[in-house]
Structure 1
Amino acid sequence: MAPSKPIIILDRDGVINQDSDAYVKSVDEWIPLPGSIKAMAALTKAGFQVFIATNQSGIARGYYDAAELDKMHQKMLDLLHAEGGEVQGIEYCPHGPDDACQCRKPKSGMIEAIEQQLGMDFTQQPAIMVGDSLRDLEAGKARGCAPVLVLTGKGRATQYKDIDFYFDIYTDLAAFAIATIHKYQ
C-alpha cells in the first residue's frame, strides 16, 4: 500500500517559470519553464493537492502591482487548466526584505496560511516544499515540510551552499513530479 500523498507546495519563479534578477514584472515576462506546466498537471491528475508559495517583493519595490501579478497567475492557471491540472491555492508575499513581515520566505507564514486553509499541521501530516533557493527550503523545513531543491532558476547555485539539513535534489519540476508520482502510486 502506498503512503498517503503529501501536500505539494511549489515556489514560483525559478521552479514553474523563468526567473530574472531584474524580476518578472509583467504577464509577457512570465514564461513557463519547459515541462513545468505538464508536471503540475501530472501531479494533479495523480491526486496530489498543489499549492504555490511565492515571494513577490517586486510589488513592494514598485516594479508591478497586484493586478499585474494576478494576470501572471491567471496565465499560469490558464496554461495549467488546458493540460488538465489545477492548483488549490496561491499564497504570495508582496513585502520587501526590510518590511519585517511573517510571510516572506525564509519565514513560514505562507505555508502556515496553507495549513490553516487545509486544517492541517505539516509537522504532523506530510508535505513537500519545492524550491530553487535556500529560503524556500528553510521555510518548508520550518513547518515540517520535506524540502526539495530543483536545479532550475537559482537551484544550481543553491546546491553548493552550506545547508545543514537534508533535502532531495531534482533537475527540474518534471523530474520531481515523475519520481513523486511513482513513489506514491
Structure 2
Amino acid sequence: MNQRDEDEFREFVAGRMESLRGLAYLTCGDWQAAEDAVSTALSKLYVRWSRVSAPYTYARRTVIHAAIDETRRPWRRERSTSPDLLDRPAPDRIDPEDHAHVREALLRVPRGQRAVLVLRFYEELSVEETAQVLGRSTGTVKSQTAKGLEALRAALGHHDFHAAIG
C-alpha cells in the first residue's frame, strides 16, 4: 500500500471506528466480540483498500458478517464480566434509560433477524441497501424485519415497544 492509500485508510478508520464498533456491538451484543469483528473487517478492508470503491459499505457488510460469525464461536457464548467492557458506552440511538433493556431484548432475537434490525433501524438502511449488505433478497429482508420486530416486541414484554426503539 502506498503512503497516500495508507493515510486515507487511517483517516477512514479514525472517522468510522465508533460507528463500526456500535454496529458490531448491536449485532453480537458483546463489546469484546464487537472489537474482534471490527478488527477482522478492517484487516480485510486494508488488504483490499485500493480496489474498494465504497469503503464504508464494504466495512459495514464485513462487520455485520464478522459479528454474526463471532456469535457462533463456542467461547463467545459465555459473557465477559470484565469491568472495562461493561463500562463502554452504548450507541445512543434510543432513550438512555431503555438502553440496557433493549440491548438484552435484541440479544434474544435470532442472529439473522438481529442483523436486519440493526441495519434497518440503527444504520437506517433501506430494504434494498440491507439486502445488498447481507446478500439476501428484498423479500427476505422484509420478512426478517417483520419477524425480528415481532421477536423484539415479545422480548421487550411489558415495556412500551415504540418508546424503546425510538
TM-score by length of 1: 0.27
Specify which structure has the bigger relative contact order, considering alpha-carbon pairs within 8 angstroms and separated by 6 or more residues: 1
- Please identify which structure carries the higher strand content: 1
- Please identify which structure carries the higher helix content: 2
TM-score by length of 2: 0.29
Larger Rg: 2
